[in-house]
Chains A and B, each alone.
Chain A
Amino acid sequence: MTSGSTAYNLDDRRTSVSMSLRHSQSGRPSTPQHHLRSNNSSFASTSSASSSLRGDEDAIVFEFGSRWLRAGFEGDSTPTCVVGCGPEDSRRAGDYRGWLKASLNADTLRPQPVKAEEWTGAYELWKMDVRDVDLGLVEDKIERMFRETYNKYLLTDAGTARLVLVLPSIMPHPLLSSVLSTLFSRWRFPSITLLPSPTMAVAAAGLRSALVIDLGWAETTVTGIYEYREIATKRSTRAMKSLLQETGRFLTRLSSNSSGDADEISVNFEFCEEVVSRFLWCMPQAGDNGSFTSSQSTDSQGGDSEPIGRDITGLSHKTVSIPSPSNPSSNYLEIPFSKLAEPVEKVLFAKGVADCDLDDEEKPVALLAYNTLLQLPPDVRGICMSRIVFVGGGANIPGVRQRVLAEVASIIDQHGWSPVRGKVIEQQRQKLQNLSLNERPTSANNEKDTTPPSPKTSIEKGDQGKRGNEEDEIDPVEEKLRRNRDKDIKPPVQGVLREVESLGPWAGASLVASLKIRSLVEIEREKFLQHGLAGASRDLDTHGHVPDRRSGLRSGGDRSSWTLAGWG
């Protein structure tokens, strides 16, 4: 090592010279907010100019999904890069067939039909069902993805800066352990911070409580978050993966009229994903014309909504041309625009399937959202329902958000906040409604979609009814208190359905990290290498931050032991 260390010294001297040169050129030797790499040789066995104290360096935020890896620096609004995971990324070094694919003969050949599960499986980084996942392979993939991300996009030395990982709030321990041990053993990350993605999505919306609807790859999760804590989570397999498979089947049917196996897909995955990202859309709710009017929409917008709705339904007669699935590079195929809404309709909203036929794990998105809201305590529900945040790939499909909101609104309209269903209940409700003649005369009609009531009036009536109820319940003390307060305090929006846009979990984590807020889960290198995940203390009660257990944000506490918080 002696010769080596002299080499380092030489390097250091050289870089310091070049650094000082650069500084004199730029004319501002050390601007703290720019985190100039001070040439501090005490930390670094590195000779590069980027060596610095770890405190100086911006943390690097990675968001793991099962399909995409987002990476970037803290304090940025968008990730520096988004890296996908596909078969081309799992090839041997020096195997460039992915690049040769553009040659002519690729077009003439038809891809062989593949089972839908395999078709998408090749493009996943991992599966949450770890029973038949080769964890070693996952580790290999993660290692390669990280290395290439650092070398190609982040362009900073791996392992010097703090690492922040944004992970789904539920993660199998073997996977989590694989991720952490790969990162810790491959690079010298001083510590890895874990942040839960739903909470980060809430933070990136500027909220403290919300209902996060994550239309992700493998599953759609709806998470009720109150004061940065996860209160309730429900999940469904109606997500982008099945949407892609459905679109694949749809395109396969288009390309070959004689379909052999119904489950086999013979179109290119990338092409299918392209179709999904470009052209899939979602119809407004049938009969409701999509003009979902929350209380925020003023009268003028309400007036607008009618022609818009007609506009959209009128679009269904249009045709658009997409590249022909069998031969994407040369031929175009005219298909009705409305056809492109069908996969969404079928997969995310379970059109044409009776409620009773649905398994617990495959509830349509709107019902899932409603059920999650129902599960929340009423005051939390009131807060969360007017802060609905959509994240995930599916949220980019135009029309999905308003459709979900409209459907949730109609479920509420139909059933209120009661989990009890059935004919008898309906009859009783009918009776009660007949007693109070003024209240909601159209609700009987609402149950049948065949006779659409004019949406505006019904919802307005509902609103009025709600407001009327509220006013009835108010007691004078409350009234007085509020009168005192109302002068300067704005009451929160609650009780109405409202969507709030979020910048996404990655941006949330970047925000949180740049504010130097410590996460509840901060795994130190040495401690992890000693015991692995088993070293995490499960005894949360002794740490005095039980209330914050699921929030993901740390509020002090001792640092001698570490926890996995919600992941534990």
Chain B
Amino acid sequence: MSRPFPYAYISCPCADTPVPDPARKRRSRETSHKSNPEDPNAPVPQDYDFEDERTFDPRSPRSNFSLYPPEQLLYCEDCHQIKCPRCITEEIVCWYCPNCLFETPSSMVRSEGNRGHSRCARNCFNCPICTAPLAVTTLENVTGGGSQQGPWVLSCGYCMWTTLDIGVKFDKPTNIRTQLSKMTDSSRGRQMSKTFSDLKSPLSTYSSIDDQFPSPSEMRGDDASPANEQSSGPLNPEARFQALKGFYKSQIASTSSLPNDPLADFGAGFSSPGALNRIMSLYTSSSRLGNLYGGTNKKPKSKPPVMREALTTSEGLRVPAPDAENALIRRMASDDCGWDGMASIEQRTFQSPDARFVEDLLPLPVLLRTKRSKRCKSCKHILVKPEFKPQSTRFRIRLIALSYIPLPTLKPLVPSPFAGLPSVTSGAAPNLDALSPLKTVQLQLTLKNHMFDPVRVTLATPSVTPGRVASKVTILCPQFDIGANSDVWDEALQGSTAPGDARASRSGTLGSTEKVAEAGKVWDKGRNWTTVVLEVVPGTLPGGGATGRNRMKQHYDDNDDDNDDSDADSDVNANALDWSGQTKDPNQQLQPDEDVLEIPVFVRMEWDSENQIDQEQSVGKGQNSDTVKRELAYWMVLGVGRISPEMGF
């Protein structure tokens, strides 16, 4: 995991709620029966009837989608439930450009034409090569009095790309977006004609809607049309799309509005000749379906006109030039192109589909961002409401989960040298990135309460972690209370039992006293936090006999113990990860991240909450009394560390 050990994740309870589909239950049962029971990577059988008895498996590929760092979760006060991004609905409050921080009104967001949706309409552009922001600079060829008058370009301060590379200059330093979009069509056409060298005019006019009945002069013969298409050149995708749209509109208009057509509803225009007599008349009149594919203008009255296909470039038809592909290949192989002359997949993502070479890339207007308010999906209660102004980072409403659920922090318990535990021999803190298998580690789990009510917490964990690496886990004190988050001064006034800062107190107690973790006893306790001790015996990695694998792993660990281990591992994982859970692997192979020791802990908290009026709680069901008993239960995953493949002695 990329987070440094130890860490804690919380699983949103919404993961247990299946997608409500009546046909679903039966199906999921079938699939779960089919999956191989011996397969360690097989998905957990999703029999939702028994969901409560299921142990949460942090290693299941699905759990990646329900686990969140505690600080990312929200809390709905109406439903009294944790809310993750999956169980909220979002509404956009405002659009703004992250570069210039100007707000874009909602009417503008969609009206900018194609490729401009949700992009900054001002001067903000990103470099098409390296995505750094581009700056508007003047060309320095103009010196003297009118030094600011020169043509303007966009230039990248990072990779030194300028719009001169694609031959674009601007007359004014303002409104670059409009200037560029005006130029785009022509420049795009020019570039394409560079590729298809025999083509000239970039944009031809396309037929208007009124142009329903093409004049005979337009209706050229079979042989004349290819020449025509070649000469008028290809449209760029946008223009071609508009041409097609215009063509279809004119066809619909000409075919659907017949008064005596029995199928004169809107759909009939697009339907092809379905009626039998129509087909008969087709075949009797012409064997070549001339009327179907030819024009529609001269029709006998009995026959309803039929939509035809696009026939000319101006209608959106595009027959590629026969040597277009060869030209591409030649350009690819040419010396001045090379690997870096071809645009990468990432660079092409937001470019025109025709852009293949670096020269085809255009500067990208900055993608807008949004501020969104969030609501609980089930009760529509507002959970987050930011300020409207883009510049403001404040929130009007923000119900983050950490003010309702205890914040879990994990920390290795550094045993004092006098500790009586036989397994612990050294006084140093265990290296969490390389935990020795079968060597007991003690950890402090601190839960810090942020509510103004005392909370009673019950922790539960499977005694052996799920998965192939079976580590034994014992929570020495699974049931305890946490004090209310009262005034900070209360604690200070209480005296010496706990110094002001929780952190200081913990380290202080550790340093001075010789404490031994005892079963059933809370390790330490403060005003609004409680620490209990977890005893973990890391399991051995699978394939312990397979020394080859071990040695390789070892070797790789040795190579970079100064590096962040998780970093190094991620590269290995990038290819080996199998998120679809389809692996049929022999158990020799160590799955990525299988050596990470993660403990699923079921947290159940109970508290008596006052029926607070000041907090906006809606009229619930049974809240007549002053105090209401509340409970909240969720799975939490504690990432302890990475088990090293070698046995430590």
Which residue of the partner chain, among A109, A154, A492, A510, contacts B293 with CB atoms under 8 Å?
A492
Complexed CA–CA distance, A154 and B563 (Å): 39
Q: Contact mask A225-257 → B, CB, 8 Å, 1/0? A: 001110000000000000000000000000000
Given contacts A121-B582, A206-B309, are A137 and B61 in contact (CB under 8 A)?
A: yes
Given A18-B388, A100-B570, A105-B568, A4 contacting B64 (CB threshold 8 A)? no
Chain B residues, Cβ within 8 Å of A321 = 338-339
Partner of B237, one of A3, A278, A485, A503: A503
- B563's nearest neighbour on chain A, judged by CB, is A105
Asked if A136 and B46 make an inter-chain contact with CB atoms under 8 angstroms apart, the answer reads yes
Q: Which residues of B contact A516 (CB under 8 A)?
A: 266
- In the complex, the answer to whether A137 meets B345 with C-beta atoms within 8 Å is no
Stretch from B84-92, B441-449, B466-474 contacting the other chain: B84-92
Would you give the shortest CB distance from B282 to chain A, in whole angstroms? 11
Q: Please tell me if B380 contacts chain A, counting CB pairs below 8 Å.
A: yes
* Residues in B345-360 with C-beta less than 8 Å from chain A: 345, 348-350, 352-353, 356
**Taking the complex as formed, is B307 at the interface, i.e. its CB lies under 8 A from any CB of chain A?**
yes
B622 interface residue per 8 A CB criterion: no
Cα A110 to Cα B290 with chains together (Å): 63
User: Which B residues are CB-close (under 8 A) to A144?
Assistant: 65
Interface size of B in residues (CB-CB distance below 8 Å)? 156
Q: For chain B residues 368-385, which have a beta carbon within 8 Å of chain A?
A: 368-370, 372-373, 379-382
Interface string of B322-357 (1 = CB under 8 A from A): 110110111011000011001111001110110010
A80 proximal to B (CB < 8 A):
yes
Nearest CB of chain B from residue A404's CB, rounded to whole Å? 11
B624 to chain A, nearest CB (A): 17
Chain A residues within an 8 Å CB radius of B244: 204, 206, 503, 511
List chain A residues, Cβ under 8 A from B616.
3-4
- Other-chain contact of B333, A124, A154, A337 (Cβ < 8 Å): A337
Write out the residue numbers on chain A whose beta carbons fall within 8 Å of the beta carbon of B241: 76-77, 204, 503, 507, 510-511
B54 at the A interface (CB under 8 A): no
B28 at the interface (CB under 8 A from A): yes
Do the beta carbons of B106 and A50 come within 8 Å of each other?
yes
Cβ of A351: which chain B residues have Cβ within 8 Å of it?
none
List the A residue with the shortest CB-CB distance to B335. A318
How far apart are the CA atoms of A442 and B573 in the complex, in Å?
A: 57
A297 x B288 contact (CB < 8 A): no
**Contact of A151 (CB < 8 Å), options: B295, B349, B372:** B372
Contact A269 B575 (CB under 8 A): yes
- Interface residue from B268, B295, B318 paired with A489 (Cβ < 8 Å): B295
- A72–B119 Cα distance when bound, in Å, is 13
CB-contacts of B422-454 with A (<8 A): none
CB distance from B608 to the nearest CB of A (A): 23
Q: Mark B250-289, 1 if CB is under 8 A from A, else 0.
A: 0010000000000101111011101000000000011111
- A93→B2 CA distance, assembly (Å): 11
- Cβ of A37 within 8 Å of any chain B Cβ, yes or no, is yes
Whether A137 and B242, one on each chain, are in contact in the complex, defined by CB atoms closer than 8 angstroms, is no
Task: Establish whether residues A485 and B294, one from each chain, have CB atoms under 8 Å apart when the complex forms.
Answer: yes
> Bound state CA distance, A24 and B178, in angstroms?
22
Contact in complex: A500, B290 (CB < 8 Å): no
**Given the known A-B contacts A186-B86, A399-B325, are A90 and B288 also in contact in the complex, defined by CB atoms under 8 Å?**
no
B580 at the interface (CB under 8 A from A): yes
> Interface readout for A494-514 with B: 1 if CB under 8 Å, 0 if not?
100011110110010011001
A-chain residues with CB within 8 Å of residue B38 when the two chains form the complex:
none
Does B411 sit at the interface, judged by CB under 8 A?
A: no
B305 interfacial contact with A, CB 8 Å: no
With an 8 A cutoff between CB atoms, is A35 at the interface?
yes
List the A side residues contacting B91 at CB < 8 Å.
46-48, 50-51, 157
- Bound complex: CA of A143 vs CA of B577, how far in Å? 20
Q: Do residues A109 and B372 form an inter-chain contact, with CB atoms below 8 A?
A: no
Verify A4–B322 contact, CB threshold 8 A.
no
A7, A274, A492, A534: the one contacting B290 at CB < 8 Å is A492
- In angstroms, Cα B106 to Cα A156, docked, is 9
Q: 0/1 per residue, A291-327, Cβ < 8 Å to B?
A: 1111011100100110011011001001011110000
Q: Is A444 an interface residue (CB 8 A)?
A: no
Is B117 positioned at the interface, with any CB of A under 8 Å from its CB? Answer: yes
B642 to chain A, nearest CB (A): 13
Residues of B within 8 A of A482 (CB): 286, 288, 290
Given A36-B107, A109-B568, A140-B62, CB of A278 within 8 Å of CB of B339: yes
B350/A93 in contact, CB under 8 A? no
Q: Are the CB atoms of A147 and B85 closer together than 8 Å?
A: yes
Query: Is the CB–CB distance between A181 and B345 below 8 Å?
Result: no
User: B31 — which chain A residues lie within 8 A by C-beta?
Assistant: 130, 134-135, 174
Contact check: which of B9, B67, B322, B578 meets A293 at CB < 8 Å?
A: B322
Assuming the A-B contacts A111-B571, A121-B578, A398-B332, are A490 and B221 also in contact, with contact meaning beta carbons closer than 8 angstroms in the complex?
Answer: yes
Please tell me if A133 contacts chain B, counting CB pairs below 8 Å: yes
Determine if B618 and A1 form an interchain contact, defined as CB atoms under 8 angstroms apart: yes
Interchain nearest-CB distance for A317 vs B (Å): 10
Interface residue? A458 (CB, 8 A): no
Contacts of B117 in A (CB 8 A): 72-73, 76, 80, 154-155
B300 CB to nearest A CB, Å: 11
Which residue of chain A has its CB nearest to the CB of B583? A118
Cross-chain contact A156 with B107 (CB below 8 angstroms): no
Task: Let me know if B574 is at the binding interface, CB within 8 A.
Answer: yes
Query: With the chains together, A121 CA to B568 CA distance in Å?
Result: 22
Q: Is the CB of A80 within 8 A of B118?
A: yes
B21 touches A177 (CB 8 A): yes
Q: How far is the CB of B315 from chain A (nearest CB, A)?
A: 6
Contacts of B372 in A (CB 8 A): 151
A296 to B65 CA separation, bound complex (whole angstroms): 54
Chain B residue at minimum C-beta to C-beta distance from A117: B582
In the bound complex, residues from chain A placing their C-beta under 8 Å from that of B22 are: 530-532, 534
- A318 to B441 CA separation, bound complex (whole angstroms): 61
Residues 109-130 of A contacting B (Cβ, < 8 Å): 109, 111-112, 114, 118-119, 121-122, 124, 127, 130
B240 within 8 A of A: yes
Which of A75, A311, A504, A533 is close to B353, meaning CB atoms less than 8 Å apart?
Answer: A504
B572 an interface residue at 8 Å Cβ cutoff? yes
CA distance A20 to B115 in the complex (A): 27
Instruction: Report chain B residues within 8 Å CB of A548.
Output: 271, 274
Q: Which of A354-362, A408-416, A550-558 sits within the interface?
A: A550-558
Do A118 and B576 touch across chains, with their CB atoms under 8 A apart? yes
A277 near B: Cβ within 8 Å?
Answer: yes
A6 to B100, CA, bound (A): 34
Find chain A residues with CB under 8 A from B570 CB.
97-98, 100-101, 106
CB B339 to nearest CB in A, in angstroms, measures 5
Chain A residues closer than 8 Å to B579, beta-carbon distance? 87, 90, 122, 137
Given the interface contacts A135-B31, A399-B325, does A48 sit within 8 Å of B85 by beta carbon?
A: no
Complex interface residues of chain B between 530 and 572 (CB less than 8 A to chain A): 556, 559-560, 563-564, 566-568, 570-572
Q: Which chain B positions have C-beta within 8 A of A78?
A: 114-115, 237-238, 352-353
Q: In the assembled complex, how far is the CB of residue A343 from the closest CB belonging to chain B, in whole angstroms?
A: 15
CA distance A34 to B24 in the complex (A): 41
A387 to B290, CA, bound (A): 16
Cβ 8 A contact of B105, one of A22, A150, A396: A22
State whether B238 touches A77 (Cβ < 8 A). Answer: yes
Name the contact of A555 in the complex, choosing from B46, B118, B270 (C-beta under 8 A).
Answer: B270
A433 to chain B, nearest CB (A): 28
B residues less than 8 Å from A381 (CB atoms): none
Tell whether B414 is near chain A: CB-to-CB under 8 Å: no
Cβ–Cβ contact B118 & A493, under 8 A: no
Contacts beyond the supplied A185-B19, A315-B333, A551-B272: 14 A-B pairs with Cβ under 8 Å: A36-B106, A73-B117, A87-B579, A93-B67, A97-B567, A109-B571, A119-B575, A311-B330, A337-B333, A399-B326, A515-B245, A532-B23, A551-B271, A556-B263
- The 5 A-B residue pairs with the shortest CB-CB distance, nearest first, are A206-B310, A492-B293, A77-B241, A489-B294, A97-B2
Q: List 7 A-B contacts (CB under 8 A).
A: A118-B576, A124-B580, A135-B31, A141-B65, A155-B368, A400-B325, A488-B216
